[in-house]
Structure 1
Amino acid sequence: MKKQKKEANVTKKNLVKLKRRQPNRSRIGDFIIYFFLILVALMMVFPLVFAINNALKPLDELFMFPPKVFAQNPTLDNFSDLFVTMGKSWVTFPRYVFNTVFITVVGTAGHLILASMAAFVLAKYDFPGGKTFFKLVTVALMFSGYITAIPNYLIINELGWIDTYWAIIIPAFASPMGLFLMKQFMEGLPMSLIEAAKIDGANEWKVFISIVMPNVKPAWLTMIIFSVQGLWNNQAATFIYSEEKKTLVYALQQIQSGGIARTGQAAAVTVVVMAVPILIFILSESQILETMASSGLKD
C-alpha cells in the first residue's frame, strides 16, 4: 500500500510539472502569430465591409474621390430604389426569387443525395470498375465549366431541356466536387461500425441514413455551402431564354449594368447577391466545427 501511495504521489507531482510547463515559444512569437492572424482576418473582412457601406451610401458619397470606406450619411434609398425598379419589370420580383430558390434547393438536394449514395458505395465496397470510375471523377475536377459548356449545351439540347429549370438542375446533380469530397471523408469511417450495425439487423439504407450520414456531417454541410453558392449565383442565361424563368441574379445584374444613374442600385445588388451564401455559411459554420471536433472515428 505504501509503495502504491508513493507511486501515486510521484504521478501527481509529474502531472503538476507538466501543467506548469510553458509552451516552447516566446511571447514575441505569440504576438507575431496573433498579429498575422488579425491582419489576415482584416484583409478578408474588408471587401464585405466595403460592399455593405457602399450599399448604404447616397449617390454623392459613391462618387466621392478619394472614396471613403464607411458611409458618412447611411441610407436605405439604394435598396428601396432597387425594389422600385424591380417592381416596374413585367416579370414580378417574387417570380425571379422563386426561380432562383427552386433551382438552388432542388439542385442542392439532388446533388447531396446522389453524391452521398455514390460516395458510400465507392468508399466502402469493392466492385469491378469502382476505382476506375473514381479516377474519372478525379479527372473531371480538372475541367472548368468553360471547357464543358459546349458539350453540356449539346447534350441538354438533345434531351429537350433548353429553356427549362432542368437545364441547370440536372448538371448540378453530377458535380464531381461533391462526390469527391464525400468519398474521401467516408473512407475515414471505420468499417467495424458499419458491420456492427448490420449485425444488429440494420439494412444498407438504415446504415446509410443512421450511421454514415450523421458521421460525415462536416462533408455534406461543406458540400451544401459550395452547391448553394454556385446555383444561387448562376445566371442561367445560356440555357434559359424565357424572361419568366430567369434567375434573380440575372435580373439584378441587368439593373447593375444600367449605367451611372443606377450606381447606387448596383451597390445594393452586390449585397443582395452575396447575402444568401454568406448567411448559409454563418449558420452552418459552428455545426461544421463542432462535428469535425467530435467525429474523429478510427478503427
Structure 2
Amino acid sequence: MTVVQITLRKKRLGRSLAGDIVLFGLLALVGCFMALPLVFVISNAFKPINEILKFPPDFFVRNPTFTNFYDLYHLLAGSWVPLTRYIYNTFFIAFVGTAGHVIIASMAAYPLAKRKFPGKTFLFTVVVLSLMFSATVTQITNYMTMSWLGFLDTHWAVIIPAIGSSLGLYLMKQYMEQIPDALLEAAEVDGCSEFRIFWSIVMPVVKPAWLTLIIFSFQGLWGAGGAAGSMYIYSEQLKTIDYAFSQILSGGIIRTGPSMAATLLMLSVPILIFIISQSSVIQTMSTSGMKD
C-alpha cells in the first residue's frame, strides 16, 4: 500500500456518513439552483405563445409544442441567404478561432514559462495589464487594425482578435510553470529539439489547461457573431447564425416563440462542448499531477 493510499484511507475513515450526506445534499441543492436558468430556457422553447406571454409566467411548460421550432425554420427558410451558410460561417469562426487561439497562446506561453531571455518579465507584465481592458475598450483599436490589414468584411476580422487574446496566454503560462524543469532537461539530454519538447512533452502535460481554454474560447466565439456582424462583417452571406436570429426575430412580440427556440439552439452547442470537455478536464487533472 502506497503512502498516498494510506493517506486517503485515513481521510476516508475520518469522515462520518452523516457529514457525507449533508455535504452531498448541499451540493445537490446548489447544483439544482444553478441549473434553474437553463431549465427555464428549455421550458420556454416548448411553450405556446399564450404561456410565454402569461403573467406571472409558469416556470414549467404545461402544453408542450414544437410550433416555435417550426416557425423558426420557416422564418430562416424565407431568407435569401441559405440557413446552411449561416451555420457554416458560425462554425468556421468558432473552430478556426479556437484552434488558432489555443496553438498561438501555448507556443507563446512556453518560452515565457520555461525559458529565460531579456525582457521576459516586462512582456508578461504587459500581458497581465492587458487583462484589465474589456473588449469594449479595444473595439476601436481592433477596428482600425483590421481595416489597416484589409480584413474588414471577412471572417478574419473576428478570428484574428480572438487568436490574440491575452487570457489564453496567461492561463497557459501559469499552468506550464508547474512542469518540472528536470523533465525538460532530461528531454534535452536525449537530443529532443525545442519543438519536440513543446509538442510531445509540454502539451500532453498541460492538457487540462488547453481543454479549459477550448471551452472559454469556443463559448466566446460562438456568441460573438452578432456584435461582429454589425461592426466588422457587412456582407449578408458572411454573417453568423446568431446575427440571422437577431434580425429575423426582431419582428415584434408575435415572434417571441421562435425567439425562445433560437435561444435554446444557440445555447445547446456551447453546453455540449462544455459537457464533453469537462469530463476530460476532471480526468486529466486527477491523473496528470506532477511535482519536481
Same fold at TM > 0.5: yes
- Render the CA deviation track for 1:50-84: whole Å, top value 9, x for unaligned: 10110011112212232112211212111121111
Deviation at 1:139, TM superposition (A): 0.4
User: Are the aligned partners of 1:255 and 1:266 in contact in 2 as well (CA < 8 Å)?
Assistant: no
Deviation at 1:20, TM superposition (A): 8.8
In the alignment, is residue 227 of structure 1 matched against residue 220 of structure 2?
no
2:282 and 2:20 mapped to 1: Cα distance? Answer: 24
Deviation at 1:30, TM superposition (A): 4.8
In the alignment, is residue 288 of structure 1 matched against residue 288 of structure 2?
no
1:256 and 1:20 mapped to 2: Cα distance? Answer: 55
Deviation at 1:44, TM superposition (A): 0.9
When normalised by structure 2's length, the TM-score is: 0.92
What residue in structure 2 maps to residue 22 of structure 1?
14
Distance 1:161 1:20, change over 3 A: closer
What residue in structure 1 maps to residue 75 of structure 2?
85
Deviation at 1:21, TM superposition (A): 4.6
In the alignment, is residue 260 of structure 1 matched against residue 262 of structure 2?
no
The aligned runs of 1:183-262 (5 Å cut-off) are 183-234=173-224, 235=226, 236=228, 237-262=230-255
User: Are the aligned partners of 1:253 and 1:269 in contact in 2 as well (CA < 8 Å)?
Assistant: no
Distance 1:18 1:214, change over 3 A: closer
Name the % identity: 53
- Render the CA deviation track for 1:149-204: whole Å, top value 9, x for unaligned: 11111121122211111111111111000000000000000111111122222211
Q: Identify the structure with bigger relative contact order (alpha carbons < 8 Å, sequence gap 6+).
A: 2
Code of the residue aligned with 2:154 in structure 1: it is: T
- Render the CA deviation track for 1:240-279: whole Å, top value 9, x for unaligned: 1111111111111223322111011010011111111110
1:147 and 1:43 mapped to 2: Cα distance? Answer: 34
Which aligned segments of 4 or more residues in structure 1 are displaced greater than 4 angstroms? 17-21, 29-32
1:206 and 1:86 mapped to 2: Cα distance? Answer: 48
1:21 and 1:290 mapped to 2: Cα distance? Answer: 24
Distance 1:79 1:215, change over 3 A: same
Code of the residue aligned with 2:263 in structure 1: it is: T
1:188 and 1:20 mapped to 2: Cα distance? Answer: 28
In the alignment, is residue 143 of structure 1 matched against residue 133 of structure 2?
yes
What residue in structure 2 maps to residue 7 of structure 1?
none
Which shifted more, 155-164 or 167-176?
155-164
- Render the CA deviation track for 1:82-134: whole Å, top value 9, x for unaligned: 11100100111011111111111111111111100001111000100111101
1:130 and 1:164 mapped to 2: Cα distance? Answer: 34
- 1:57 alignment partner, SS class: coil
Q: 1:165 aligns with which of 147, 155, 172?
A: 155
In the alignment, is residue 41 of structure 1 matched against residue 31 of structure 2?
yes
Please list every run of 5 or more consecutive structure 2 residues that lacks an aligned counterpart in the other structure: 1-5
Distance 1:182 1:18, change over 3 A: closer
Deviation at 1:220, TM superposition (A): 0.3
What residue in structure 2 maps to residue 96 of structure 1?
86
2:98 and 2:17 mapped to 1: Cα distance? Answer: 47
What residue in structure 2 maps to residue 73 of structure 1?
63
Please list every run of 5 or more consecutive structure 1 residues that lacks an aligned counterpart in the other structure: 1-13
Deviation at 1:22, TM superposition (A): 3.4
User: Which structure: larger Rg?
Assistant: 1
User: Are the aligned partners of 1:218 and 1:291 in contact in 2 as well (CA < 8 Å)?
Assistant: yes
Pairwise CA RMSD = 1.9
2:14 and 2:110 mapped to 1: Cα distance? Answer: 45
Distance 1:71 1:21, change over 3 A: closer
User: Are the aligned partners of 1:57 and 1:71 in contact in 2 as well (CA < 8 Å)?
Assistant: yes
User: Are the aligned partners of 1:240 and 1:246 in contact in 2 as well (CA < 8 Å)?
Assistant: yes
Deviation at 1:31, TM superposition (A): 5.1
